[in-house]
Chains A and B, each alone.
Chain A
Amino acid sequence: MRLLEFQAKKILSEYGIAVPKSILITSPEGLKQVSFPAVLKAQVPVGGRGKAGAVRTAKVADEGSSVAKELLSSAVKGYPVQALLAEERIDIQREIYLAYLIDKQINLPMVMASASGGVEIEEVAKKNPEWIIKRHIDPMIGVQDFMIRSLVKALGIDGVEGFRKLIHGMIALFHEKDATLVEINPLAVTPSGLVALDAKILLDDKAAYRHKDLMDALGEEQRRLDKRPRTRPEQLAEGTGIFYVPLDGEIGVIADGAGTGMLTLDLVHQFGGRPANFCEMGGQSNARTVEKSIEVILADPRVKILLIGLIGGITRMDEMAEGIVQYLKKADRRFPMVIRLCGTKADVGKAKLAEVGIEVFEDLTTAVRLAVERSKEL
């Protein structure tokens, strides 16, 4: 889960990390309690808000009011802005980049930092990789003071105390809340110490069961502020465990594995067709999952033909076929579909589908080629 800025900053301050004083507002009237000059920041879960004009400074109340009105009626990268964080303006001496995450190349947590903060770290990595400082922290010994002093030196910060407190807070947050990223960018050096001007925190959804209250509350807050227009398939797929990613073609694709699903898309493309989506049913799929997946894909009005590719390992083809049959029983119309089915209990599955007059292919490329050809005739 990617936290919104105000959610991330609330957690940072719980861990003793300084953030600017702020108020979350959902209408220009909320500005009454804000003193100016102030920074108004759109609360949307995307990067590059500054460039997108979604972070603005207002010197006086009138200006604040018109900027707030404008931002609250805009959308940033597809997200209609529903809330603004109104922050006090901070006296910045310089900006630093600081993050804590797992280095997956060697499976060790690390502090990643750069003395030149405020810009996107991907840009720094591309143009000046030598500006990025990495210090790995073996969980066996944890963060040691020499590491902190080394970072302080490399970043050119005056005094160790404030930075030490900050790093300890960041690392404690990461481990206690099951984060996968804690990023402070920029971290401002100010006359009164280090202040987190912006923050990005990713929490591990796989560990949500350990933080149920927190994750529920954060999720609820985000749903309230997320007014993105959702398509019917997206609504249907929500909370089902089915991975649904819309694309822009007309061949609806369903797969029982992530890798074969991606291969199927690539094949559709290579044979001159256009997939309408990626849809993977998840590891423990059964008859019900297939039925539901077909429902999701056919809710997309652009879909002209359905291509179902199944290769059973843990999934059983008799159950998969049963799901397709169940859908057809309920459906009010027949829909063009091409099915590839092989693997565990494929014979039973094939027989089941033959009973309802559906032909099944064993070879993936044959099925994809046929689906592409038919999609052009429809």
Chain B
Amino acid sequence: MAILINKGTQVLIQGITGRIGSFQTQIMKDYGTKIVAGVTPGKGGTEVHGIPVYDLVEEAVKKHRVDAVFCFVPAHLAKEAAFEVISSNIPFMVITAEGIPDLDMLAIVRFAFAKGAKVLGPDTPGLISPGKCKLGVHPHTMFTEGPVGVLSRSGSLSYEVCRVLTASGFGQSTVVGIGGGPIWGLSQQAILQMFQDDPETKAVVLLGEVGGTMEHEAAAFIEKQMTKPVIALIVGRLAPPGSQMGHAGAIVEGEEGKAESKISALEKAGAFIAKNSVEIPEILKRIGV
């Protein structure tokens, strides 16, 4: 088991003929991800790395069962691309683009909600279930199969932490990048629920940062719903209020956006607090995972 994706997940790549899309598709395919189709308008009938390319998502889903989509379409075209995927009743998609206007993202999230589809992102490397399926652009040699579920707002932070976990002998069940925000499809809460329900996941690592109130909602959820141990690392303790720390969502506005406020909420909710990446495997050892 893993969450959201698995060995049998059949994947469609949107924007498969672009420079990054094509390069990353090859890496995913080599990793073992079952990529069954690609879509780029105007390139229908061609192939990329032996994968058939279609003009439209609806053409692809007539020929193939598609469980998930990875969308490489750039930010200003992402709304229509997502509408096309969701209109074809595909249950899950990852949107990797950074810089999608908030109102576009809002429309995507609302439409997905109405159609019962799940959207991960934006501004995310995607997700990986080590040894099973990679729906993302992660440097996968840093990841290994195991019992720790990881969810992160930052892609790079999830690489860093998984590298440390792998080196300490802790493999990962699924590593999910929820993205840099400020509007998100799947929330930390939604992913926490999935890890709670996943028999393979024994403990969860939550990687958060300054900005927004998401970690406060996650804390409330952890307190009420999580029986599995949660280890939380919140970065950005030195972030000055009002400055954008890279991610669109990483701006401290008000008390709740501060790292300290999130840390104390998570601690109260019963999460184990790590001050940095190295402390995470130490905590896992201590609590006997």
Contact = CB atoms under 8 A, between A and B. Distances in A.
A263 B238 contact: no
Nearest to B101: A207
A347 to B, nearest CB: 11
Contacts of B125: 313-314
A206 B156 contact: no
Contact of A109 (B98, B106, B155, B163): B106
A107 B155 contact: no
Contacts of A257: 154-157, 159, 246
B110 interface: yes
B262 interface: no
Residue from A105, A139, A259, A265 having most chain B Cβ neighbours under 10 A: A259
B182 interface: yes
A180 B250 CA distance: 15
Contacts of B278: 365
B276 A175 contact: no
A206 B155 CA distance: 20
B246 A243 contact: yes
B139 interface: yes
Contact of B159 (A122, A140, A343): A343
Contact of B98 (A259, A283, A312): A283
Contacts of A178: 101-103
Contacts of B76: 209
Contact of A140 (B114, B181, B217): B114
B102 A269 contact: no
B240 A247 contact: yes
Contacts, number: 168
Nearest to A317: B139
Contact of B236 (A210, A262, A342, A344): A262
Contact of B139 (A138, A207, A263, A344): A344
A259 B209 contact: yes
Contacts of B277: 263, 364-365
Given A204-B103, A266-B238, A266-B275, A258 B247 contact: yes
A245 B240 contact: yes
Interface in A314-353: 314, 342-344
A259 B102 contact: no
A27 interface: no
- Which interface class (under 10, 10 to 19, 20 to 34, 35 or more) fits A? 35 or more
B160 A263 contact: yes
Contacts of B153: 259
B137 A262 contact: no
Interface string A161-204: 00000000000000100101000000000000000000000001
B87 interface: no
Interface string B1-37: 0000000000000000000100010000000000000
The 6 lowest CB-CB distance pairs between A and B, nearest first, are A257-B156, A259-B154, A258-B246, A259-B157, A207-B101, A262-B235
29 contacts: A104-B184, A104-B212, A107-B106, A139-B107, A178-B102, A204-B103, A206-B100, A206-B248, A210-B101, A245-B245, A257-B156, A257-B246, A258-B154, A258-B180, A258-B209, A258-B245, A259-B152, A259-B157, A260-B156, A261-B156, A262-B157, A265-B237, A275-B238, A312-B139, A313-B137, A313-B139, A342-B163, A364-B277, A365-B277
Interface of B: 20, 24, 75-76, 98-104, 106-107, 109-110, 113-114, 123, 125, 137-139, 142, 152-160, 163, 180-184, 207, 209-210, 212-214, 217, 233, 235-240, 243-248, 250, 254-255, 275-278
Interface of A: 102, 104-105, 107-109, 122, 126, 138-140, 175, 178, 180, 204, 206-207, 209-210, 243, 245, 247, 255-263, 265-267, 269-270, 275, 278, 280, 282-283, 311-314, 342-344, 364-365
